[in-house]
Amino acid sequence: MTEPLITWRGPVLAEWTDYNGHLRDAFYLLIFSYASDGFMAAIGLDAAGREATGCSLFTLECHLNFLHEVKQGEQVEVRTQVLGHDHKRVHLYFTLHRQGEEAELAASEQMLLHVSMAGPKSAPFGEVAARRLVDIVARQGDRPPAQWAGRVIRLPG
């Protein structure tokens, strides 16, 4: 199996936690947002790439699963998997882990859109980003299925 694409690492900061010392709901999404930035850098849309192309990624949709508690001071990392992409969109799956451990603490499935900031309006990925997306998908070909992707929220009945 290929190594995971780690797009963010860091500690759970005190200001991100509640009165029980647990990571607050909103800060799970903040961590995944930082991981999106790391993914953008991996495909050439870091600050220099955004400046050169005039393009960025916008989040269209997000689904977040809270799987285990995360505590203040823990060192965590986000592993990013590309579930699919077309000429303007990328479907990502993020999982939060204690650094170096396999257990998933949280998972987030997200759809991002490539946008020309001149509009702003959707735009096809540029040559560099498109090539890097294809490369990442090829390297992730044998990753395990995204267990928490494609879920729907509803009550039975």
List, for residues 103-124, the tens digit of each pLDDT value. 999 999 999 999 999 999 999 9
If you write DSSP's letter for every residue of 27-63 in order, what string do you get? HHHHHHHHHHHHHHHHTT-SHHHHHHHSEEEEEEEEE
49 vs 1 pLDDT, higher one: 49
In a domain, 91, yes or no: yes
Structural domains counted in the chain: 1
Q: 76 lies in which domain range?
A: 5-139
Residue 107 lies in a domain: yes
Average model confidence (pLDDT) across the chain: 96
Q: Residue 149: what residue type?
A: A
**Is 90 part of a structural domain of the chain?**
yes
Do the domain assignments include residue 149?
Answer: no
Whether 34 is in a domain gets the answer: yes
Tell me whether residue 27 is in a domain: yes
Q: Say what the pLDDT of residue 142 is.
A: 85
**11 located within any domain:** yes
pLDDT at residue 124 in the model: 98
Which amino acid type is present at position 29? Answer: L
Q: Does residue 26 lie in a domain region?
A: yes
We report the CATH number of the domain holding residue 65 as: 3.10.129.10
